[in-house]
Structure 1
Amino acid sequence: MIEVRGLTKHYGQTVAVQDLTFTVRPGQVTGFLGPNGAGKSTTMRMILGLDRPTSGTALIDGKPYAELKHPLRQVGALLDAKWVHPNRSARAHLEWMAASNDLPKSRVEEVLRLVGLSEVAGKSAGGFSLGMSQRLGLAGALLGDPKVLLFDEPVNGLDPEGILWIRRFMQRLAAEGRTVLVSSHLLSEMSQTADHLVVIGRGRLISDSTTSDFIERASEASVRVRSPQLDELRSLLTSHGMTVKENDGNADGAALIVNGVASDAVGTLAAEHQITLFELAPQRGSLEEAFMRMTGGDVQYHGEIGSPADATVVMDKPADSEPLFTGGTK
């Protein structure tokens, strides 16, 4: 389990993370979301002991990372898939990590098989594609068979097959009872992967809830309805103050989308006026819609269609911060 309590990080006058509190529990994939510059990477680095908090605590199974005797046995992390000496083979890289935590070499071969890299284990990691590098990073995170895992943007740049593989991989790890925290900007992927969401903006907590609750709370309810009396139904709904828009891109024919109401209200009204319905279906909002609604005021960088005058630069980590380190003793 990961416990973050009152976590705060200042870089001079810049506030990267402010009084952040949440818990990542075992047995589920927890998505860690936020706009660029929200403080996600800084938070993950503080959890892993790479950045020192200004105040507050980040504990892994009740202890700070620095107090873990053999950290790879308790926590694994993938923060930067390309963080590996380019001239080392995948096997040599993992053997170095294993030696730093007194892990047997046999474990290296196990994780190489687990992530599907056995056939290229002797090749230089510098020549790996991004997908192969992600798999090597996953192998390193799993080397000590830890119960706690952190992944920062693990599907960036991957093809659909690679994204599906990593999604199922993370879900399987959670099903084994592990604690899995994953940060990603691919919201459609997170909606299929994460059971729980921690959402932050400008370094502060915005939401800590299940994925379904977050979407339901933050997106507008709507109903899709089809009828052979579409014009009559449209006039009826608008006359009762309902917001209606066309939805004619479906193979089943033209339909209406009624916003801000439950399907019961639309069905009852249609029945009272003897209007036949072919379809009456509640529409679930998307994670993207909910995310934009909840974090729109916390975006740090705006293009020309936003408000450039309001743009504020907030660093996720300073340029001279420590290099990424996902194993071994410090």
Structure 2
Amino acid sequence: MIEATGLTKRYGKTLAVDNLTFQVEAGRVTGFLGPNGAGKSTTMRMILGLDNPTAGQVLIKGKRYRELKDPLRTVGALLDAKWVHPNRSARAHLRWMAAANRIPAHRVDEVLDTVGLTSVAGKRAGAFSLGMSQRLGIAGALLGDPEVLLFDEPVNGLDPEGILWIRKFMHRLADEGRTVFVSSHLLSEMALTASDLVVIGKGRLISQSSTKEFVSRATENAVKVRSPQLEQLRTLLVQAGADVTDSDDGVTVSGMDSEKIGELAAANRIALHELSPQAGSLEQAFMQITGDSVEYHTGLEAEAQHVLEPTR
């Protein structure tokens, strides 16, 4: 478990993290989301003892990072995929990490095999693509077989096969009872990967909940309806107070759930060919909730935010 309490970080007059409190539970993949400049990287650095908090604290299994004995055996992290000497081979890079943390040398080949780098283990890391560097960074995080894992943008540079591998791998780590905390801007992937979310903006906590709760709370669910008597049904829905918009082959109804729509259609002997709830997306929820926390808006972003905001 990771537990942050009142975590605060100032750089001169800049307040990067502001009284941040959250928990990351074991056995779950927890996504760490926020707009650019929200304080995600600073928070991760404080978790790992790379930056000292101005106030508050963050504990890993009840201890500060610097209090951990053989920390690589407790916490594994990937913050910068290119943090490696370019002239060292992948195997040599991992061997010095293992030696420095009293980890058996045979573990190096195990993690190289796990991330699919065995065939290039003897090649210079400086010649690696970003995707290969990401895999090497993940191998380093796994080296001590830790119970807690932190990943910052782990799918950067990976092809679709690599992204799918990362997703399944993180789920497997969580299923083993490990704590997995992952920061990413790829919201579509986070929707499939993270069971829980910690969302911050301007250094402050915006939300901590399950991914499902976050999406349902921030977006209005709609229902797709198809019917051979669509115009008659549309009139009845509007009269009942629902919002109806055209879709490719039917209408999308908000403000009324599928049960009430079905009952209304049945009461008026209207046939239905489709009645399917349409859940909101994580991307919609994220933009809706963090809109006020984005430091810089482009014209298109402002327009998208306006579209996503409910009519007052």
TM over 0.5: yes
SS of match in other structure, 2:139: helix
SS of match in other structure, 1:291: helix
1:280 to 275, 281, 292: 275
1:229-308 aligned within 5 A: 229-248=229-248, 254-305=249-300
- How far 1:306 moved relative to its partner? 5.8
Tell me, yes or no, if structure 1 residue 6 matches structure 2 residue 1: no
- Unaligned residue ranges in structure 2 (runs of 5+): 303-312
Match of 1:21 in 2: 21
Output the TM-score relative to the length of structure 1: 0.90
Task: Considering fraction of residues, name the structure with more helix.
Answer: 2
- How far 1:305 moved relative to its partner? 4.4
Match of 1:178 in 2: 178
- How far 1:110 moved relative to its partner? 1.0
Match of 1:318 in 2: none
Distance 1:261 1:64 in 2: 50
- How far 1:17 moved relative to its partner? 0.6
Tell me, yes or no, if structure 1 residue 166 matches structure 2 residue 166: yes
Identity across matched positions, percent: 69
Structure 2 CA distance for partners of 1:120 and 1:306, relative to 1, 3 Å: closer
SS of match in other structure, 2:167: helix
Distance 1:128 1:197 in 2: 32
Distance 1:234 1:201 in 2: 40
Match of 1:209 in 2: 209
SS of match in other structure, 2:44: helix
Match of 1:138 in 2: 138
SS of match in other structure, 1:56: strand
8 A Cα contact 2:152 2:184, kept in partner: yes
Amino acid paired to 1:124:
R
Amino acid paired to 1:103:
I
Aligned residues: 302
8 A Cα contact 2:226 2:251, kept in partner: yes
Distance 1:289 1:77 in 2: 29
Q: Runs of 4+ in structure 1 displaced over 6 angstroms?
A: none
Distance 1:153 1:301 in 2: 21
8 A Cα contact 1:222 1:257, kept in partner: yes
- How far 1:144 moved relative to its partner? 0.5
SS of match in other structure, 1:58: strand
Distance 1:301 1:68 in 2: 39
8 A Cα contact 2:241 2:255, kept in partner: no
Amino acid paired to 1:184:
S
- How far 1:157 moved relative to its partner? 2.5
SS of match in other structure, 2:177: coil
8 A Cα contact 2:134 2:157, kept in partner: no
8 A Cα contact 1:221 1:261, kept in partner: no
Q: Considering only aligned residues, what root-mean-square deviation do their CA atoms show, in Å?
A: 1.0
Distance 2:297 2:164 in 1: 31
SS of match in other structure, 1:137: helix
Larger RCO, structures 1/2 (Cα 8 Å, 6+ apart)? 1
Distance 1:306 1:121 in 2: 43
Q: Deviations over 1:30-86 (max 9, x none)?
A: 000011111111100000001110100011111111111211000000001111010
Amino acid paired to 2:265:
A
Q: Deviations over 1:145-169 (max 9, x none)?
A: 0000000000112211111111111
Distance 1:125 1:200 in 2: 34
Distance 1:198 1:53 in 2: 19
Q: Deviations over 1:173-213 (max 9, x none)?
A: 11111000000001110000001011111111111111111
8 A Cα contact 2:35 2:293, kept in partner: yes
Amino acid paired to 1:182:
V
Distance 1:192 1:306 in 2: 24
Structure 2 CA distance for partners of 1:304 and 1:289, relative to 1, 3 Å: closer
Match of 1:48 in 2: 48
- How far 1:260 moved relative to its partner? 2.4
SS of match in other structure, 1:197: strand
